[in-house]
Amino acid sequence: MSDTTLFQPYPLGPLTLSNRIVMAPLTRNRAGAGLVPSTHAATYYAQRASAGLIITEATQVSAQAQGYQDTPGLYTQDQIDGWREVTDAVHAQGGRIFVQLWHVGRISHVDLLGGAAPVAPSAIRAQTKTFVNNGFADVSEPRALVINELPGIVDDFRQAAANAIAAGFDGVEIHGANGYLLEQFIKDGANQRTDAYGGSVENRARLLLEVTAAVVEQIGAERTGVRISPVSPAGAISSSNPQAQYDYIVEQLDALGIVYLHVVEGATGGPREVAPFDFDGLRRRFTRTYIANNGYDLPLASARLAEGKADLIAFGRAFISNPDLVERLQSGAPLAALNPATLYGGGAEGYIDYPTSAEVHTQ
């Protein structure tokens, strides 16, 4: 394979992607009243529609699922209508777009939940912060979910997936990574349960697999992806047996027929070599599309594609300040730096006002 592979079309289930570059989910904390996508969101995503696939910012499946200020939802009609403006804008530019669905679990704050405690597999507080009241604060003490609450969470994901299709999305990505609820069940650093959802590798994987099966039943496996982060410490989470745990999970996800597996290789937004793990083994266990994520640049992306170690490559923060990232990578144009001060919250500044390379040269 040549270095041009990254820019060649790729079949993803029933879709044909224009290239193998994926825009990774990027939380921007700009939802409006009712947690409806920002009035600028359609412009923001349409500007980046040259990506082969856009995966949106994480979007909560219920009011209980929120963990950060001003993140959008997909559980009310107003939210569905707001997202429809986004999907229409992306499709008008020839793009493809999946929505990432999440429940944050213990990574939340009582001020976001009407005074209620966040929920978790076990009442173990994460030693981390969340974005609330226009700043960062320690997350609140969670309560442990009782077992008869779990079917309701599965149904929240199922309904959000149905809402996603109603909003015009091409598919959904289930967020099973980065220390949020589904991963809290998976990893024994957060899960001390003794019932059918705790203890063994199989039990701790149960909620993720039930959610995935429900979404597949609702919208089809060809429109369902899953994101995992086997060794990332994001959300102050840990696992004593990540290899056995994720080998099992990936085999079960493969059996469900999902269209892609999106893998954070290493620490989310950090070093790739954070802990020993055989990511190539996951690649071999999954028989459909493998999306590789974390610290990728053009040389590494080209090498991994050439070696057959990935099918698609996800780029994250580079998309924030480079709406034309695909074109810049292909032409060799320099990448613009992002403004950290405008990453979270705010309006148009640092959101839809980054110029393309062509615009820079005409200024």
Q: Which residues are catalytic?
A: 180
Our separate counts of H helices and E strands in the chain read 11, 14
Widest pairwise Cα distance in the chain: 63
Pairing outcome for strands 53-60 and 312-315: unpaired
Pairing outcome for strands 129-132 and 21-23: unpaired
Q: Quick one: how far is CA 124 from the chain centroid?
A: 24
Residue type, 333: A
Query: 277, 253, 252: which is closest to 265 by C-alpha?
Result: 277
Cβ partners under 8 Å of residue 129, min gap 6: 136, 137, 138, 139
| 226 contacts 261 by C-beta, under 8 angstroms | yes
- Output the six-digit token pair for 125: 């507080």
Q: CA-CA distances (angstroms) from residue 59 to 93, 103, 189, 338?
A: 22, 8, 25, 23
Question: Is residue 264 helix, strand or coil?
Answer: strand
d(CA 199, CA 48) in angstroms, rounded, equals 43
Q: Quick one: how far is CA 288 from the chain centroid?
A: 18
d(CA 193, CA 205) in angstroms, rounded, equals 12
| 75 contacts 87 by C-beta, under 8 angstroms | no
d(CA 44, CA 130) in angstroms, rounded, equals 24
Based on the number of CB atoms within 10 Å of its own CB, is 225 exposed (0-12), middle (13-18) or buried (19 or more)? buried
Based on the number of CB atoms within 10 Å of its own CB, is 9 exposed (0-12), middle (13-18) or buried (19 or more)? exposed
